[in-house]
Amino acid sequence: MTLANLLSEDQVIPEMKSTERWAAITELVDVLLARERIAVVDRQEVIDALYAREHTMSTGIGFGIAIPHTSSEKISEVVCAFGRSLSGIEFGSLDHAPVRFVVLFIVPKDQFQAHLRTLAAIAKFLNDRGVRERLATAEGGREILEVFGSPVR
């Protein structure tokens, strides 16, 4: 699985407006809402679930990466959105550094293995410094999506 399978160009924000984690999460949920990946009536429930997960422990894992995630009975397949912030987002990360790359995903409630596989794939992919450098210099959503479609070296 490549992350490009979970994303489309219109699910990528090349420069996020948000400067802090709660707004960033909402900004990415709204992308999924606009692309009809989640229903309007489910928006607040999804945001609440993501916020609850963040309150347990920040999903800012270090190296400028955050992976907010949750499960929901309101969806039938994994949905994902990506946002980049060249100036950085205060995310309460484990290394206390600003986040530049946010991958938000939601999996169906009963798909625990898919949840773990998706989280592991995202973390492994973004752990590669070369990937992060290419994401930082990509011009626009199409180039960002191309990075997600490329194999890790």
Task: Report the catalytic residues.
Answer: 69
Q: How far apart are CA 120 and CA 33, in angstroms?
A: 25
Q: Show the CA angle centred on residue 81, arms to residues 76 and 86, nearest 5°.
A: 170
Contact 122, 103 (CB under 8 A): yes
Start-to-end C-alpha separation, the chain: 15
Transcribe 66-84 into DSSP letters: E--EEEETT-SS-EEEEEE
What are 57's two structure tokens? 């422990």
Contact 148, 84 (CB under 8 A): no
Query: Would you give the DSSP letter of residue 99?
Result: E
